[in-house]
Structure 1
Amino acid sequence: MNHQQPLPEDLVTDRSTSVHDIPGRTLRALSTSDLAGIDITLADVVETVEQAYRTLAAGASDNPRKLTVRPADGHSVGYAMLGRDGSREVVAVKTSYKHGLDKDRGDQHYYTALTLYDDISGLPLAMMDCGRIGALRTPAVSALLARACARPGARTALVIGTGTQGRLALPFLLTTLPDLDRLLLAGSHPDGIAAVRTELHRHFPDRDVELVTDLRAAATQADIVVATAGGHTAAAVEVDWLAPGALAVLVGHGLAPSTLHRADRVIATSEAQMQVTGTDMADAEGHLRPVDAELPRIVAGAAVGRRTADERIFGYNSGLVVTDIALGHRFAQLALAQGRGTRVPLWQ
């Protein structure tokens, strides 16, 4: 991959707001509360993620496959992801660790962190909790998938699940597809349903969501289905439930394997990542359907998302570290402008 070729003008990130506050051997640590206090628009998040995809498609970024470790009994899992954003010229490492997979969710522990380094000065930029970054990045990717692959004139969106990803799915969809006029929600947890409504009203005060109890009937009516439910969900939309031209996006759980294997077209953020993390969608022989196109190339105009109005499309949303890097760098810029974070003399 040749990183010496100049990027197109629209991919060059404005670096005038440097995230360096002191040279040398200190690191700015950004906690969960530091990041929670930063206001960022949904449109800003979408634009940042989209630019990261364009830079990757242009061959100017690196996004190697993640490394995974887990003990034999499966009680924990750890991931490490290294990447480089070629437009921001930032190198970063993201780590994720979850403990207690054999226990109820309330007894589990989950930590994720992102460390950024400036690849021009060679200096460290920041280390931050990556929870909010992932919570914003993932629904932004679903919204980009919807913009690229929803059928023309799409009006109805169905979200399955009311967890972290379900709560921001609809606001992000409305950001990229403002003509959506019917918003459906399939969920069973009262607190989660209330949280979905709260997030929707916070970003779009004049919009509301319809709670559905018949998942099959709702899926039949939807132009876009975004499945964000947890692993214990009983929801499993089959391909025959989907209307002609529907887009089904898998983020967590809620879609049956038939939506992948019998789709007219399969789009993924990364085919390599799908082969690693999408094994629960494998067929009886343990195989996954090949991917027809990847989202970064579609966003960059190098590949086609939808070909016809009536084809059913399966979209696989898995995280790419280059999007975490871009969004993390954006948060670091905003944090520095607001004087947030703690200077840590890590190497002194």
Structure 2
Amino acid sequence: MSTLVLSRSDISKLAVPADYHRAVARGFRRYAERRISTPAPMELPAAGGAFHIKGATVNDQESGVAAVKINSNFPRNSERFGLPTIQGAIIVFDSISGSPLAILDSAEITLRRTAAASAVAADLLAKSSADSLLIWGCGVQGRAHAEAFMPLRRFRRACFYDIDAAKARRVARDFGPIATAIEDPVRAALESDVIVTTTTAQSVLPLPRKLAPGAFVAAVGADNPFKSEIPPALMTHSAIITDVTDQCVVMGDLRAAIAAGAVRREDTRAELAEVVVGARPGRTSEEETIIFDSTGAAFEDLAAAEMLVERAKAEGLGAWIDLQK
């Protein structure tokens, strides 16, 4: 049996942010409907970093797929080897026969599905009048979030901040006259309706304990137990929506807030999937602050990979190999 191989360049040709948005929203719906099983992530420590492993399976008796992603995260790769910090692959299997259907580079998918999940959350949870955006952290994930968020609302202002000011300027230049690179993210946070934190911070950002009325925060950076971005005091004064609560209590900003005694697991309002299908409320007033704690879900990878494999087959992209030869 032949297996499709898709490189990062192949993947970049197959979809735009809106396509990932639709695919990831579908993934959240299937998760809410219990049509997807996803075990706890695994981490394998290594000398210069770590390997992170996530997987998900579609629960279907007659047909279905499974996806397993292995990402390496080696923070010093750029300076030591001229390589990206994150590298990896997603393998898509037929979940009935176990046959490998496709192998995909994971970097572009992880980048885009993470931004898409935040965009799905913002679409449902940002207040109706939201028109100002702050991107705090202007690496590739910050740029991907800007690309995913800009079509959602008619933003009158978009602020970009990074400890490397040149990065913020480069990203801001690509988003037109509403976009500005700033030097004071705390002030911008107090004046922004939508805030996205995409940093590598291992200690909380200097966010105030209260934001502008009705603010929405997508907290993206805390993707392992050693990172945190959102001050526990701000978590206390906010409604908390998670991507996967079981993950967030182990590796998200929710973990840090629980450890600080600021909130409890049961203080979370809902998982995003429950909001997507209407099982639990999302925003209940235009005044409340909502934090979306995003740790990255395997069903997001699965949904994006399924979409890309279908498109690649239709467009004749990628290479085919026989792994059993």
Please give the range of the TM-score, normalised by the shorter of the 2 chains.
Answer: 0.7 to 0.9
- Report the alpha carbon displacement of residue 281 of structure 1 after superposing the two structures with TM: 5.8
| Matched residue, 1:274 | 248
Q: Which amino acid letter does the alignment assign opposite residue 324 of structure 1?
A: D
Is residue 218 from structure 1 mapped to residue 197 from structure 2 by the alignment? Answer: no
Q: Is the CA contact (8 Å cut-off) linking 1:160 and 1:166 kept in structure 2?
A: yes
Q: Is the CA contact (8 Å cut-off) linking 1:116 and 1:125 kept in structure 2?
A: yes
| Matched residue, 1:166 | 142
- Report the alpha carbon displacement of residue 315 of structure 1 after superposing the two structures with TM: 1.4
1:31-46 alignment to 2 at 5 Å? 31-36=7-12, 38-46=13-21
SS of structure 1 residue aligned to 2:183: coil
- Report the alpha carbon displacement of residue 266 of structure 1 after superposing the two structures with TM: 0.7
| Matched residue, 1:328 | 305
Identity in percent = 25
Q: Kindly tell me the number of residue pairs found equivalent between the two proteins.
A: 311
SS of structure 2 residue aligned to 1:239: coil
Q: Is the CA contact (8 Å cut-off) linking 1:160 and 1:225 kept in structure 2?
A: yes
Moved over 4 A (4+): 232-235, 283-288
SS of structure 1 residue aligned to 2:175: helix
Is residue 84 from structure 1 mapped to residue 57 from structure 2 by the alignment? Answer: yes
Deviations 1:209-246 (A, max 9, x none): 12222222211111111111222788421223x11221
Moved more, 123-132 or 244-253: 244-253
SS of structure 2 residue aligned to 1:282: helix
| Matched residue, 1:124 | 100
- Report the alpha carbon displacement of residue 41 of structure 1 after superposing the two structures with TM: 2.6
* CA distance in 2 between partners of 1:148 and 1:98 (Å): 31
1:190-209 alignment to 2 at 5 Å? 190-197=165-172, 200=175, 208-209=178-179
* CA distance in 1 between partners of 2:278 and 2:253 (Å): 29
* CA distance in 1 between partners of 2:309 and 2:166 (Å): 32
| Matched residue, 1:69 | 44
Deviations 1:171-217 (A, max 9, x none): 21123x3232221111243552244236536xxxxx54122222222
1:280-291 alignment to 2 at 5 Å? 282-283=256-257, 285-287=259-261, 289=263, 290=265, 291=268
Q: CA RMSD in A?
A: 2.6
Q: Is the CA contact (8 Å cut-off) linking 1:167 and 1:199 kept in structure 2?
A: no
Structure 1: runs of 5 or more not aligned: 1-23, 202-206
Q: Which amino acid letter does the alignment assign opposite residue 49 of structure 1?
A: V
Q: Which amino acid letter does the alignment assign opposite residue 296 of structure 1?
A: A
Structure 2: runs of 5 or more not aligned: 222-227
Cα gap change, 1:194/1:118 in structure 2, threshold over 3 Å: closer, same or farther? farther
Q: Is the CA contact (8 Å cut-off) linking 2:130 and 2:153 kept in structure 1?
A: no
* CA distance in 2 between partners of 1:332 and 1:344 (Å): 15
Cα gap change, 1:121/1:187 in structure 2, threshold over 3 Å: closer, same or farther? same
Deviations 1:15-63 (A, max 9, x none): xxxxxxxxx2x21221223223x14232211010000100110111112
| Matched residue, 1:114 | 90
Deviations 1:71-105 (A, max 9, x none): 5xx74222222211358821111112224x5x475
